[in-house]
Amino acid sequence: MTTPRTILGDGLDVSAIGFGAMAVSGVYGDADPEEALATLHHAVDAGVTFIDTADIYGDGDNERLVGRLLADRRDEVQLATKFGITGSIARKTMRARNDPAYVAQAIDASLARLQVDTIDLYYLHRRDVTVPIEDVVGAMADLVAAGKVRHLGLSEVTAAELDAAHAVHPIAAVQSEWSVWSRDVERQVAPMAAGLGVGFVPYSPLGRGFLTGTLSDPATFADDWRAGLTRFRGDAFDANQAVVRALRGIGAELGATPAQVALAWLRAQGTLLGLPVVPIPGTRKPSRVDENAASADLVLTDEQLRTLDALSGQVVGNRSDFDDPNWTSDTRERGLSAGS
């Protein structure tokens, strides 16, 4: 199997479907490191060579695991990692940190864990609004000049932040949540990216598993991160099944799975906006890597796109329930946070 390629901003050439490695360090249920490594190798074998990690995932273990993949396959992979969050995802103690001294410290720690000399795409993971975006991107540009990083990316930035950052150094990609049930980036950020020639990397493109239709019983995720999200609880969880039913119905028309329809929908949004869009679904299972990669060949009809458009406006619950109001671009964009 081969996976097609896409060129993001700043000439960064990646597989058209990437692999998000976060969940192979146990965010959505337990994960075995040896099985996770086998899944990563399988992804690269299948041409899914754009691998996404972050210093915060698994408290550093995720980068160490990806480092084991890279030990003999560095040249086959477009490696993306991120910095800018301190604390722990598992303990929900995350805080954003963007000061230039921290940037210099974070890159060296990531390079050491990954056991590489250069990172292909280095993202700012979260905005710390006490530091001007120009200052943090300036410090990131110094890493490009030093040869430690090839391209720069930004996660959860507003359109205005992206515009200001891109004036300091070309930005290859914005990574923010985007899927059939999380569409706020379409208001301003994605059009700004399209206008600037910046690519888009939707995270949680399968709605943290919800959009795959495999999560019918809340008991199966009662012990993981998703149990804390309103969209996954009670009446909201039940109401949001309407989106899954639509994905399943469209999948039946096309001979595809709900996950494949959800990923093809994202690519269709990219076509509509004139924006290179490369989703990074994550999975612990090799067979699902193949299933997700095969979505690159799937094309939805206008009527199918209209059906999903209508339903996505009816989603119940916010995409983020985190206690920091600056955590997502959505709240800053709408002026709902203290720092905006």
Catalytic residues: 57
Minimum CB distance to ligand NAP, residue 68 (Å)? 17
Q: Does 20 help bind ligand NAP (rule: CB under 6 A)?
A: yes
Q: How far apart are CA 177 and CA 322, in angstroms?
A: 14
Q: Could you say which DSSP state residue 277 is in?
A: B
Question: Please, what is the minimum distance in Å from the beta carbon of residue 256 to ligand NAP?
Answer: 11
| Least distance from ligand NAP to the Cβ atom of residue 329, Å | 10
Q: Closest distance between ligand NAP and the C-beta of residue 216, in Å?
A: 12
Closer Cβ to ligand NAP, 55 or 156, answer by number:
156
214, 220, 320, 337: which one binds ligand NAP (CB under 6 A): 214
Please select the residue that binds ligand NAP; options are 127, 169, 183, 208, rule is CB under 6 A: 208
Task: Decide: is 120 part of the binding site for ligand NAP (CB under 6 A).
Answer: no
Stretch that binds ligand NAP, among 146-154, 165-173, 187-195, 284-292 (CB under 6 A): 284-292
Q: How far, in Å, CA of 211 to CA of 98, rounded?
A: 33
Distance CA(39)–CA(52), nearest Å, equals 14
> Pairing mode, if any, of strands 5-7 and 13-15?
antiparallel
**DSSP-assigned letters across all residues of 202-251:** EESTTGGGGGGT----GGGGTTSGGGGSGGGSHHHHHHTHHHHHHHHHHH
DSSP per-residue codes, 162-214: HHHHHHHS-EEEEEEE-BTTB-GGGTTHHHHHHHHT-EEEEESTTGGGGGGT-
Q: Which structure tokens are listed for 95?
A: 């805080």
User: Nearer Cβ to ligand NAP, position 292 or 326?
Assistant: 292
- Here's the x/- map for ligand NAP, 219-258, by CB under 6 A: it reads as ----------------------------------------
**280-317: burial string, b at 16+ Cβ within 10 Å, e else:** bbbbbebebbbbbbbbbebebeeebbebbeebbeebbb
> Which of 17, 22, 180, 194 is in the footprint of ligand NAP by CB under 6 A?
22
Q: Which of residues 56-115 bind ligand NAP (CB under 6 A)?
A: none
Among 6, 49, 110, 292, binds ligand NAP (CB under 6 A): 292
Please identify which residue in 12, 16, 23, 171 interacts with ligand NAP, judged by CB under 6 A. 23
Q: Is 291 in the site for ligand NAP (CB under 6 A)?
A: yes
Q: With beta carbons less than 8 A apart as the criterion, state whether 176 and 185 touch.
A: yes
Helix, strand or coil, per DSSP, at residue 152: strand
Q: Are strands 149-155 and 119-124 parallel, antiparallel or unpaired?
A: parallel
**String marking each residue 137-166 x if it binds ligand NAP according to CB under 6 A:** ------------------xx----------
> What is the Cα–Cα distance from 336 to 340, expressed in whole angstroms?
7
The site that binds ligand NAP (CB under 6 A) totals a number of residues, namely 29
Residues that bind ligand NAP (CB under 6 A): 20-23, 28, 52, 125, 155-156, 175, 203-209, 212, 214, 259, 280-285, 288, 291-292
